Structure 1
Amino acid sequence: MPPLPLIAPQPPRLSELGEALRRVEASGVFSNNGPEVRAFEAEVTERLFGGTGACLAVANATLGLMIAIRDAAGGHPRPGTLALMPALTFAATAQAASWAGLTPLICDVDPDDWSASAAAEEQLLARHGERIGVAVPYATFGNAIDLDRYAWIAQRYRVGVVVDAAASLGTLDERGRGFGTGAPFATVFSMHATKTFAVAEGGLIHSADADCIARLRAMANFGFVEGRSASLPGINAKLPEVLALMARAKLTEIDDVLARRAAVEAAYRDALPGFGVQRPLGMRRASQFMPVLLPAELAPQREAVAAALAVEGIGTGCYFSPHLGQQPEFQATALIEPTPVADRISAALVSLPVTDAMTPDDARRAAGALVAVVEKLSRSTPRIAASGASTSIATTIVIGGGPAGTALLTAATKRNLLPGFAKGLVVVERDAAVGGGRLGRYAITSDSTAQTFLTAVKNNAHPELAALVDHPVGRAVAAYQDALGVPLVEAGPLLRVTGQRLADLTRAHGGEVLTGHEALHATAAGGGLWRVRLRRLSDGQEIDRLARNVVIATGGHQPLDRLSGQSVAGVPLVQLAGDRLLQSDDVLTVGGFDKVADLLSSRRAPRIAVIGGSTSALTTVALLLRGRPALPLGAGGITLLHRRPLRPFYPSVEAAHAEGFHDFGPDDICPVSGFVYRLAGFRLEARELVLRMLGVGGLAPDPRVALHRITGDDDAAARQVLREADLVIAALGYRPFALPVFAQNGAPIPLAAGAGRAMVDRHCRVVGSDDAAVPGLFGIGLAAGFVPWGALGGEKSFVGQANGLWLWQNDVGLMIVDQVLGQRERAAA
């Protein structure tokens, strides 16, 4: 049987275009938007786009993407502007964004149609806001993705849109129109020899907006709008006349080519009912090849599948594997979100041949060969066991791979202890990646400086981490070195990329990182061991892992049941506030301010009560004051009700006195650092608000904010504030997500955290309700309840708990690392 190559280029034959070539030679015009290019643009607009809008032919699709992305991002995007795109696309998509001066922001894909995940896109658009200059969706494998949705996105988020439709020239949308018809933004197609619309090289940009095409035409000609003076960013992206001849010839036969290929694809789909295939979108697509997913257990044997099919004369490919987020260039230069769906699809993809010469019978032959190879390999391949299933005993299981869990790893790197600590380590994380946790979902600034975030990687002993200072995520954080904190939407990406590299280092040194897993409980197993029950979220399968130590780094939350038992000024809070009550966490997350604005939209001069004296309370007030569009707050529109005095942090006694602040004594000064209110004092944005409200240094208080210190259960004024408020926001702190733990006989071990007390003691050991440390259990992170002591510093007067990324990544994290490694050394001795 004749071979079936994956791709068999069939561009028009130049040898058959002699008369047309002589016409070009006679004209003396070989480039510069000559008559052949203009004729092709007019013909393709009429034939494939119903005569609407306009088209621009360019030298290749990558150049087309470059100028279209640059134009959609405003022509002169600011450094750090992001281009949002899916992971499952060709490298040219991200390369074009980089050459246009933007940073790729790579998101996951939809599990059915394999295009950009709508939920991921909208989450990132909300999180990053105006930093995203352009969205670059990919019409995956010629699919007719929903362009009306992207027109809505452009309006809703005020973001540019450029559609990478490299393989879609000739695809018909759900209304039977050429894909891209009517879209108000640029849609960029390829005419490379390997595409269905095969020319030697070239690209095409279509838009319903003729002005957009006119700008792009000028940009493709060095930015010349009139004469030879550049008034736009430009490059030479013009299509030569000879290639335009070939494009015109291809246009005359494209309908027949598309019909034959559609029949081949249909035959494949009928012959491969048990395989994962992409959900088709639109009435017809310009099939370049047939992408198929291997069964999960055979994905690691993809090369063997390809080799077996090659023996049968059937060519294969792996588009797109690795996907964008797995390629070194973009790992070093892009922002990459967790991509579990793209990871799974990319690992299992096999592309089967679709060529102009093939028939449906050829497709059935290739499909039959694939089925036979898969059946043969399946008989000799055991099914994938539960992820992480092992009879080995882990040294330590860290439950939670967010900022606190990965802080342990960061702390270890700072003393070059990670190689030893990672041996026998298992990190368990619910999300698809470690590092970020929920931190990047908050629409507020941090109470840590940019320098604090960067100390985790700057001059790190591991080059992979040290390089992040110059990575886009590091540069984005560094831009706030002189600001009052870092927006957490900027800090989150740095933590995620750091977490990814820490995970790679952990695996390289003998550890495991189990993403997509959650820990259900831990049970004492005897002999100083713990049995931790894990559940894989993808299929619910549960496994047990044995470990000598367990670190609980699951973060904190604001439990609803806490509100039902909370009293303010002697009256239950729910009784005072009713259905006007929100928790601060709901307000501080991305979209929270919009929720508040919507709830208060009918109020001309709304009154808001914020309860609490913590950083989250002050940060909530700050967010309400600076939100946009501004709330119509009158004088005293926000009342902060607090029990303890509000104290600002100062780096020294002298600094406090210099600003006229004297409200502190010897017990309020840290003996190690000399800081005033080192632990109890507010910092950065919250500190600035406190200084204003206290009138320190002659600052004028914000008239929109009133302070009310609750005096006790008989504080009638506090009760009145709550009853009259249009909205009540409870900022009452966080409690830990404490892991359920059981004794060897199955009886629950009651923990101090369950009684509302600190989860850990001064050595980060989890304590029971009797305040005795539970052997082998440690805790770290938000709401764990750790209080610095001894060499860690802190003022004697401090009451409460200290939470801070710098502490976790340094002294607190090392406290746990040292105990685990010391335990190992003692066992070896």
Structure 2
Amino acid sequence: MEFPLIAPQPPRLSAMTDGLRRIEASGVFSNNGPEVRAFEAEATERLFGGSGACLAVGNATLGLMVALRQAAGLRPRADSLALMPALTFAATAQAALWAGLTPLICDIEPDGWTADPRQEEALLARYGERIGVIVPYATFGTAIDLDRYAWLATRYRVGVVIDAAASLGTIDAAGRGFGTGAPFAIVYSMHATKTFSVAEGGLIYSGDAARVDQMRGMVNFGFEQGRSATLPGINAKLPEVIALMARAKLAEIDTVCAHRAGIDAAYRAALPELTMQCSCGRRQATQFMPVLLPPALAPRRDAIVAAMAAEGVGVGQYFSPHIGQQPLFRETALIEPTPVADAIGGRMLSLPITDAMQAADGPVIAGRLRRVLAQETARVGRQGSQQQGAAMDDLTTVVIGGGPAGTAMLTAASKQGKLAPLVEAGFAIVESRARMGAGELGCYAIRSDTTAETFLSAVKNNPHPELAALEHHPAGQLMGRYVAELGAPLVDTAPLLSVTADRLAGIVTRHGGSVLTGHRAERVQRTPDGRWQTTVRDADGGERSLVSRNVVIATGGYQTDEQVAAKRVAGVPLVALAGERLMRSDALLRLGGVGQVEARLRGVAAPRVAIIGASTSAIAAAVLLLKHQPGFAFGAGAVTLLHRQPLKPFYPNVAAAHADGFTDFDDDDICPVSGFVLRLAGLRLESRELVLRMLSLGGRVPDPRVAAHRIAGDDDAAARAIIADADLVIGALGYRPRAVPLFGSDGAPLALAHQAGRPMVDRHCRLLDAQDRPVPGAFGIGLSAGFVPWGRLGGEASFRGQANGLWLWQNDVGQMIVDQLLEREAQEAA
């Protein structure tokens, strides 16, 4: 017996001659005629208990377009976002684009396959009022928690539109039609392939009848009264003939859903070994039966689909690729990491559930599927046996870390036309996150100390067309809004870094390299022949070894409470001075950090804060606290910066410094290459502006809330007193490298310079051992690597410290490493 995936059974027009004659006699074929009005009233009563109101539309995509436009405020701001999950149909994102919104695509949770609530709330906090509307998808007809979205709408003052395309006929846990009483719009489909099968059509419902009334004008060219447009409008009206069919389907929908629920239950009983959706509610309007293949069989899905077709069973792959993987949306949307959607979408199979089937057909199809899976499992086993004992990867370079620094090195190579040669020599990049590029930058609440122009310079006029095109991608346009400003919010830098990394990954794989996202480098060990063996582990615990002549460590830096607490200030460990009042700067600067400060200072009438350090992080912490709204009750001198080195701003040249009245520098503070004053040590952008005010430079007036105290030494009792009097102490005392452990060929750990608190790399970005000697074939780049520019790279002679900057990584520093890697490869080849 044959089982097609979908076998539409809409009401038969041939059996509706009386209704068709009624339409003909009325002379009304569209424009909210009597059949449409009757269907809307009947649907409201039968499906939603008579509460709220329904609006019939030409199709669900039109319904989404109208509902999204209304929920986002009729005239949304130009950069308004529509937050939606990756695992949904293309129509969801298409509707957002047509409504003038940019899709913001998030991951899903692993059980019900609906939007990940934690990521939704993180993105609402990150993007704030830029998110005009949340567009949850009631995946495969499930009854999602609408009360939670009502709370989010109030909490974040954001619009909500539920894409419930497959849910017409679903009953929630309270026994009501899914959506009943919801204060926002819910959009359902009546497409021929849906459980509520008509032909083509959609239904918008809301518990708020006034909302539906406004949308009624929007679907009729924006006419609220008469024929003069007062609203954004479109023609999205449902024809009378389709409404006639919808009324007939409404009469039988309970029977149809109950019949399909029996088939669903039969599948679940027959295939207990497969993962299925954890659905909510009393009844799901089941369109088909989604199941997940075992992970090992995911690569064999096409073969499984073909084998099932040979068995007489139509099988689909909804939704694979998901919208975050589709070319249009990769060009037009902002896409967050979606590891769960990637994994689930990659394993998804859709088995038939049709009106023509019986519950007994479920076990029949299950038996055919089980037979096919057994055949494919055996084939995978044979292939695995053949591959056992094969040589490990023999590469030239392995890069560990695909965050801002690791991908910046690839950007540097792309700018010089050297990315393809680097990759073709044998290349792999390993990143623990599901997506390369941004690292943790999107988790911070501050502005960058790098200009928007610098971020854009990575792609603008890049020799690779796919990278150059990103200047006009939504992520590039977002960054463009911050040109000529004091940096860009770090949360807004993440999309461009991520999509740039996506394009770089495409170039790498196209030239034969490997991009191992979702893999963590566990250890790097020297082999007896002088190469490096990197052991990586995937999310499922599987291990793999990569053998290469070179390894590049780009794993960034970190800050811990213990690290900050142990630092000595005025001769005393900071923890002894501050105790439980101590907070590390990294915690403050992240999203939610100011909330932690609010909690710590709650009830303190006139709080005092001491910030220890003179770095960008220290000044950024002060800026963040001072500009927070609603503001803290800071009085005069409430925020004190305690620092050892003088606070000095960057200047583009000596004349500009003198024009502002800044003279606290000498020839050693001037970069001989660029002429910049304090090119490396000087504070920039927002931090610079605060310091300029503190120093009263250029006619600026100091902020009376901020004071500074330069620590005189270990005997500085005044510094200790300031800390003792503070209600909160922020330790902005640097980061340490998050480096993967290296081992010698004998398995013993290698002693490295950074483990003793010295720079991780030398002037050529080569990793240093405990005797400050270069470790052959090992390089480092990124935050806390300890690199100091020199020679043609410029920098002032007086600079003491390390230079961490995206521009350097994407240009001279990244190119320095690339050139050495290619040179070593050429030497090996010779």
TM class by shorter chain equals: over 0.9
The corresponding residue for 1:128 is: 127
Equivalent positions of 1:689-700 (< 5 A) are 689-700=690-701
The corresponding residue for 2:536 is: 534
Q: 1:396–1:194: structure 2 CA closer, same or farther, 3 Å change rule?
A: same
The corresponding residue for 1:29 is: 28
Displacement after TM superposition at 1:301 (Å): 2.3
Equivalent positions of 1:426-825 (< 5 A) are 426-536=428-538, 538-825=539-826
Q: Is 1:289 aligned with 2:285? A: no
Q: Are the equivalent residues in 1 in contact too, given 2:564–2:733 (CA < 8 A)? A: no
The corresponding residue for 2:410 is: 409
Q: Is 1:163 aligned with 2:165? A: no
The corresponding residue for 1:279 is: 278
Distance between the aligned counterparts of 1:387 and 1:184, measured in 2?
Answer: 59
Distance between the aligned counterparts of 2:275 and 2:608, measured in 1?
Answer: 55
Q: Are the equivalent residues in 2 in contact too, given 1:390–1:545 (CA < 8 A)? A: no
2:530 counterpart letter in structure 1 = G
Distance between the aligned counterparts of 1:56 and 1:384, measured in 2?
Answer: 56
Displacement after TM superposition at 1:176 (Å): 1.1
Deviation string for 1:388-421 (max 9, x for gaps)?
9961322111111100011111010010100111
Structure 2 SS opposite 1:640: strand
Displacement after TM superposition at 1:383 (Å): 7.9
Q: Are the equivalent residues in 1 in contact too, given 2:561–2:583 (CA < 8 A)? A: no
**Aligned sequence identity (%):** 64
Displacement after TM superposition at 1:382 (Å): 2.2
Deviation string for 1:115-152 (max 9, x for gaps)?
11112212211211111111101001111111111111
2:380 counterpart letter in structure 1 = T
Distance between the aligned counterparts of 1:67 and 1:634, measured in 2?
Answer: 50
Displacement after TM superposition at 1:738 (Å): 2.3
Distance between the aligned counterparts of 2:383 and 2:726, measured in 1?
Answer: 57
Displacement after TM superposition at 1:377 (Å): 2.1
Q: Are the equivalent residues in 2 in contact too, given 1:534–1:542 (CA < 8 A)? A: yes
Q: 1:475–1:381: structure 2 CA closer, same or farther, 3 Å change rule?
A: same
Q: Are the equivalent residues in 2 in contact too, given 1:396–1:425 (CA < 8 A)? A: yes
Distance between the aligned counterparts of 1:634 and 1:5, measured in 2?
Answer: 73
Q: Are the equivalent residues in 2 in contact too, given 1:447–1:683 (CA < 8 A)? A: yes
Q: Which runs of 5+ in 2 are unaligned?
A: none
2:624 counterpart letter in structure 1 = L
Q: Is 1:208 aligned with 2:200? A: no
The corresponding residue for 2:267 is: 268
Structure 2 SS opposite 1:281: coil
Deviation string for 1:566-602 (max 9, x for gaps)?
1111222111111011011101111111111122121
Distance between the aligned counterparts of 2:167 and 2:154, measured in 1?
Answer: 25
Distance between the aligned counterparts of 2:276 and 2:142, measured in 1?
Answer: 12
Deviates more, 1:520-529 or 1:347-356: 520-529
Distance between the aligned counterparts of 2:743 and 2:374, measured in 1?
Answer: 46
Distance between the aligned counterparts of 1:276 and 1:505, measured in 2?
Answer: 35
Distance between the aligned counterparts of 1:441 and 1:267, measured in 2?
Answer: 45
Deviation string for 1:778-827 (max 9, x for gaps)?
10000100000000000111111110000001000011100010011111
Equivalent positions of 1:191-340 (< 5 A) are 191-340=190-339
Displacement after TM superposition at 1:78 (Å): 1.1
Q: 1:283–1:20: structure 2 CA closer, same or farther, 3 Å change rule?
A: same
Displacement after TM superposition at 1:370 (Å): 0.9
Q: Are the equivalent residues in 2 in contact too, given 1:389–1:543 (CA < 8 A)? A: no
Distance between the aligned counterparts of 1:566 and 1:715, measured in 2?
Answer: 15
The corresponding residue for 2:419 is: 418
Structure 2 SS opposite 1:775: strand
Displacement after TM superposition at 1:308 (Å): 2.1
Structure 2 SS opposite 1:174: coil
1:127 counterpart letter in structure 2 = R
Aligned residues: 827
Distance between the aligned counterparts of 2:766 and 2:490, measured in 1?
Answer: 29
Distance between the aligned counterparts of 2:728 and 2:382, measured in 1?
Answer: 55
Q: 1:375–1:766: structure 2 CA closer, same or farther, 3 Å change rule?
A: same
Displacement after TM superposition at 1:561 (Å): 2.7
Distance between the aligned counterparts of 1:143 and 1:501, measured in 2?
Answer: 35
The corresponding residue for 2:356 is: 357
1:671 counterpart letter in structure 2 = P
Distance between the aligned counterparts of 2:237 and 2:288, measured in 1?
Answer: 28
Q: Is 1:50 aligned with 2:52? A: no
Q: 1:388–1:702: structure 2 CA closer, same or farther, 3 Å change rule?
A: farther
The corresponding residue for 1:145 is: 144
Q: Are the equivalent residues in 2 in contact too, given 1:389–1:544 (CA < 8 A)? A: no
Deviates more, 1:23-32 or 1:302-311: 302-311
Q: Is 1:111 aligned with 2:110? A: yes
Q: Are the equivalent residues in 2 in contact too, given 1:409–1:418 (CA < 8 A)? A: yes
Q: Are the equivalent residues in 2 in contact too, given 1:297–1:382 (CA < 8 A)? A: no
Structure 2 SS opposite 1:803: coil
Deviation string for 1:252-278 (max 9, x for gaps)?
111111111110111111111111211
Distance between the aligned counterparts of 2:289 and 2:389, measured in 1?
Answer: 33
Displacement after TM superposition at 1:692 (Å): 0.4
Q: Is 1:376 aligned with 2:378? A: no
Distance between the aligned counterparts of 2:254 and 2:448, measured in 1?
Answer: 57
Q: 1:381–1:742: structure 2 CA closer, same or farther, 3 Å change rule?
A: closer
Structure 2 SS opposite 1:522: strand
Distance between the aligned counterparts of 2:149 and 2:381, measured in 1?
Answer: 44
Structure 1 SS opposite 2:381: coil
Distance between the aligned counterparts of 1:486 and 1:308, measured in 2?
Answer: 52
Deviates more, 1:781-790 or 1:220-229: 220-229
Q: Is 1:99 aligned with 2:101? A: no
1:34 counterpart letter in structure 2 = G
Displacement after TM superposition at 1:387 (Å): 13
Deviates more, 1:228-237 or 1:298-307: 298-307
Deviates more, 1:514-523 or 1:379-388: 379-388
Distance between the aligned counterparts of 1:32 and 1:353, measured in 2?
Answer: 37
Displacement after TM superposition at 1:303 (Å): 2.4
Distance between the aligned counterparts of 2:750 and 2:110, measured in 1?
Answer: 41
Structure 2 SS opposite 1:398: strand
1:821 counterpart letter in structure 2 = L
Query: TM-score, normalization: structure 1?
Result: 0.98
Structure 2 SS opposite 1:639: strand
Deviation string for 1:501-551 (max 9, x for gaps)?
111111111111111111122222122211222222x22233332111111
Q: Are the equivalent residues in 1 in contact too, given 2:393–2:545 (CA < 8 A)? A: no
Deviates more, 1:516-525 or 1:182-191: 516-525
Deviation string for 1:226-279 (max 9, x for gaps)?
222222111111111111111111111111111111101111111111112111
Distance between the aligned counterparts of 1:239 and 1:131, measured in 2?
Answer: 33
Query: TM-score, normalization: structure 2?
Result: 0.98
- List 4+ stretches of structure 1 deviating above 3 A: 383-390
Q: 1:388–1:396: structure 2 CA closer, same or farther, 3 Å change rule?
A: farther
Distance between the aligned counterparts of 2:383 and 2:485, measured in 1?
Answer: 50
